A and B are shown apart, each in its own frame.
Chain A
């Protein structure tokens, strides 16, 4: 166990230190061998091994009734104490190397204090055991037996559906980006032999018939579909969500296994989104927005693909039981939002850069004129789909451009509310309502100022009267 951990850490450290050196060796074309170069191949592994060894020796942790204590560091000793009641979420992660050695990484998240987060490497079984202990203590007196109820699991067909209906346009952009950088790299390497590979290939493409171009486009399209399929399968394979007494447990991953726990009471707001095709086969991506600034940054948002309406309802019910189909009141975005944004983000930038580019390259500058059209379409769809509605207990926001996203927020989960009004909005008696929560920010742009003020007052009333403390 100990040995495995030391080796594992060494490999990781080596990989981190070494990749430029390895790259250098691989790309070293002249074939000459300097003896000094090889020296680093002995020094670095030794240093890395020694460091991992001492890191391991000096890493100590213990779990008491109230907190988890971790001591680490060789030269500067560091001690972290994380009170159990402050723990927001517990994750078990396992990369493929860790899987070989049967080690897992147990991570504890606490709100706000990014520095105080703890990760402990343990054997899989021990990690699960410790996770159980911590969760039990975190729940204190209310600890009930941990029976788990499976909510949803993705079959291969579901995965295929999910992959095929994902945003191919986005993947296409990634594929094109990768292709271009790949081309650039090749260009660098074969620079001596052929210094206008790009130009040559462009000329070939331009010289070929329309049929050939269409075939190329079609191939690119197929490639991006394939890429999104692979992306989806890699991120959602083995996906399973279960419900325990304290929260949802999300398991996923084939190569990099991960297990996440979402405690019910830490969820700030929920959202689910779908697109036109996914809606037809009732497929949604459900998201829990929990407390924590780090989760947003680290892409640790807890996303759950949902393949049927009952599952969606079940997940949503865990947050609030009275989500209704129709909310009594709703606000739409004022049309000036569309005109203003089209002008500032579409027409104005193009107007500024059009003439310089026109002088330089005429055909390209004509293509620029498509930008305002796209921006208009973007904001048109946004304005059309946006709906801010509320009831006594909940806020519901519908928004989206090509797809549609629905956000559900309890009034009590609001942290603070801001009304912001530009001079222009002032003339039209409009304002933006900005709602801050611990899981993210929700904005209602260009709504009537009176409505914004009423909502602000009502929100404050709800927050200030909320009996249970928010976390």
Chain B
């Protein structure tokens, strides 16, 4: 093999941060809302039971305050979920896959195809009903280095998986 070690002009390298990212499917937001509604219903019932059991402590004012606080937490939590959802996006380049996530802490994770070990598709109850799924990409790095892209239509997820498998084959040959 011929040894090449020419100077590299960093400014001419392809830039991961300027790639146009594809936002994930809107149905994923519905799934998140479903989960949140389930959680909050459980919390709400638990809160009601506590209030009834300690009714001598809960005056009308205290009960009202608790409910107001609960509503505020609900609102903030839905807002946060929306912001987080809005920031989830991905892109496929020739040699790697890019995934962006997070609102309060935004991250851009890039994994080259020649480092991917395998990938899997899974879907929870709500996801299955709405016809979306999650694509997980595993590399040999530590467990938190795996990328999981939620909110892909089943077709997209399958296509992506096929593409990645093709790419892995090409890169390793």
Contact = CB atoms under 8 A, between A and B. Distances in A.
Contacts of B172: 469
A466 B114 contact: yes
Contacts of B8: 392, 458, 461
A457 B14 contact: yes
Contacts of A293: 142-143
Contacts of B17: 419, 453, 456
Contact of A112 (B10, B109, B140): B140
Given A416-B112, A420-B107, A421-B106, A456 B16 contact: yes
A415 interface: yes
Contact of B110 (A291, A420, A460, A466): A460
Interface string A332-353: 0000000000000000000000
Contact of B145 (A111, A296, A416): A416
B147 A416 contact: yes
| Interface SS of chain A | mixed
B15 A453 contact: yes
A418 B115 contact: no
Contacts of A170: none
Nearest to A463: B112
A417 interface: yes
Interface in A421-439: 421-423, 426, 436-438
A455 to B, nearest CB: 9
A420 B114 contact: no
Contacts of A418: 107-110, 145
B96 A437 contact: no
A77 B115 CA distance: 35
A113 to B, nearest CB: 10
B112 A464 contact: yes
A460 B112 contact: yes
A419 B140 CA distance: 19
Interface string A223-237: 000000000000000
B117 interface: yes
B14 A422 contact: no
Contact of A460 (B16, B140, B143): B16
A470 interface: yes
Contacts of A417: 109-110
A440 interface: yes
A296 to B, nearest CB: 8
Nearest to B97: A416
A155 interface: no
Contacts of B169: none
A114 B140 CA distance: 13
Interface in A389-432: 392, 414-423, 426
B53 interface: no
Contact of A454 (B10, B96, B107, B141): B10
A471 interface: yes
A144 to B, nearest CB: 21
A470 B140 CA distance: 10
Given A418-B109, A463-B112, A463-B114, A458 B13 contact: yes
30 contacts: A112-B140, A291-B140, A392-B8, A415-B111, A415-B115, A415-B139, A415-B141, A416-B139, A416-B145, A417-B109, A418-B108, A418-B109, A418-B110, A419-B107, A419-B108, A420-B105, A420-B106, A422-B105, A436-B142, A453-B16, A453-B17, A457-B10, A457-B14, A457-B15, A457-B16, A458-B8, A460-B16, A469-B114, A469-B172, A470-B115
Interface of A: 111-112, 291, 293, 296, 392, 414-423, 426, 436-438, 440-441, 453-454, 456-458, 460-461, 463-464, 466-467, 469-471
Name the 3 nearest CB pairs between A and B, nearest first.
A436-B141, A436-B145, A415-B141
Interface of B: 1, 5, 8, 10, 13-17, 95-96, 102, 104-115, 117, 139-145, 147, 172
Given A457-B16, A460-B16, 4 more contacts: A418-B107, A419-B107, A441-B145, A469-B172
